[in-house]
Structures are given as structure tokens and as C-alpha cells.
Chain A
Amino acid sequence: AQSVTQPDIHITVSEGASLELRCNYSYGATPYLFWYVQSPGQGLQLLLKYFSGDTLVQGIKGFEAEFKRSQSSFNLRKPSVHWSDAAEYFCAVKGGSYIPTFGRGTSLIVHP
């Protein structure tokens, strides 16, 4: 079985500060990993994905994530947050099936 945990329900950062959102997964082999962003009233948009290869993955909007097998983690980072980054962020894991399992999400609040 696969599962994913996002330990932080809310994260507050100041505009211009760095950001790290945590994601831990459970799966017996190397999974497919994703980060999505959801703006209010919108569907989820893919930020980045990891399938194999380089463990540091670059995504859209200046985001990156690092796959760490030893820690079963796939944390999302951004060096400098913009006010427009305020949104809900979801980590997802997909193992041997077509179906991803989503975390409960982390709400990012950006202070000016």
C-alpha cells in the first residue's frame, strides 16, 4: 500500500523568504512522486514530478523538490516566495497502479 503524509497543515512565511514544504511517503519500492498547487476556486495544477534519475527535480514557478530515499521524503522548496505563491500544496505518491494517493495538503500563507 502507498501513503503520503504532509506534516504541516499551515505554513506562514514572509514574502522574499525561503520555503520548504515537507512530504513523507510510504511505499515498498521507488514511487512516482508529484507536487500540485491549488489556488482558491481552482483545480490542482502540477508543479513537478519525480519518476527516476536525478533526485533534484525542477518545476514551474521556480519550485524544486528533492527525492531522498533514505528519508522517504520529497520536500518542496523555493528560494524566495512571492505573494502569488499563497495557495494549497499537495504532495502525491503513485506506486504500482495508475492511481495517486494525495496528502491532506499544506496551506501556504505569505505575509507582505
Chain B
Amino acid sequence: DAEITQSPRHKITETGRQVTLACHQTWNHNNMFWYRQDLGHGLRLIHYSYGVQDTNKGEVSDGYSVSRSNTEDLPLTLESAASSQTSVYFCASSRDRNSPLHFGNGTRLTVT
């Protein structure tokens, strides 16, 4: 079955370090998204991509970057991790504009 895999599931890092969270989907979807989930805020969009070589900023993109070199992967990089980036991160994908999102199981990131 097709799926979205996020790795690692848990990560602890120190302030100032660069961190990359992986997202791999086997749905062959063009659209991919990164969200962060925090208590009281629900899901907030970080970055998204409509296809290879396409990336766009979401509402909370500061301090994050993504790259899309193939259809399957959209890694999320924190250039210099900050404590405010402690959160649960979800990757998602969708086939087209009419389709719902399929979500990965999330990465819990702690920045100390």
C-alpha cells in the first residue's frame, strides 16, 4: 500500500544546530506539505510544493527551508534550531486540488 513515511519519529537537538526531517511518499502525489502542530494552534503550514523544483512558503516559514528534487521526497530543514521550533511536525501529500491530504505519523522535535 502507498504511504507517507517520516523520519525520525523523535529527535532531540541543541539550539543552533541544523536539523533535517525526512518525508517520503509512495503515492506519487505532486503536492506535498509540511505542517507543525502545537497546543492551542492546531496545524500551521510551514512550506509546500506543487511538484519537482517547486517550493512555496506557508504562514510560519521563518527558520525553515525545503527542497524538492524528486516526486517522492520533501525534506524539511531547520537552518539553526531554536527552542520555539520544539513541536510535532507532519508531512502530507495530495493528488490534486480536489483530493484530501494523506498524512505521515509525525516527527516530535525537541530543541534544548
A100 — nearest CB in chain B belongs to which residue? B101
Are B105 and A41 in contact, with the CB atoms below 8 A? yes
Q: What are the residues of chain B within 8 A of A104 when measuring CB–CB?
A: 40-42
For residue A25, CB closer than 8 A to chain B, the reply is: no
Number of interface residues of A (CB under 8 A): 21
Are A44 and B90 in contact, with the CB atoms below 8 A? yes
- A22-60 CB mask vs B (1 if < 8 Å, else 0) is 000000000010101000011111100101000000000
For residue A97, CB closer than 8 A to chain B, the reply is: yes
Are B101 and A105 in contact, with the CB atoms below 8 A? no
Distance, CA A32 to CA B100, complexed state (A): 9
B30 — nearest CB in chain A belongs to which residue? A98
Q: How far is the CB of A45 from chain B (nearest CB, A)?
A: 7
Number of interface residues of B (CB under 8 A): 25
For residue B27, CB closer than 8 A to chain A, the reply is: no
Distance, CA A97 to CA B48, complexed state (A): 12
Distance, CA A42 to CA B41, complexed state (A): 17
Most buried by B among A43, A90, A94: A43
Q: What are the residues of chain B within 8 A of A100 when measuring CB–CB?
A: 100-101
Q: What are the residues of chain A within 8 A of B40 when measuring CB–CB?
A: 104
Are B31 and A98 in contact, with the CB atoms below 8 A? yes
For residue B60, CB closer than 8 A to chain A, the reply is: no
Cβ contact of A102, chosen from B42, B94, B98, cutoff 8 A: B42
Are B105 and A42 in contact, with the CB atoms below 8 A? yes
- Interfacial residues, chain B to chain A (CB-CB below 8 A): 4, 31, 33, 35, 40-43, 45, 48, 50, 58, 90, 92, 94, 96-98, 100-106
- Interfacial residues, chain A to chain B (CB-CB below 8 A): 32, 34, 36, 41-46, 49, 51, 90, 94, 97-100, 102-105
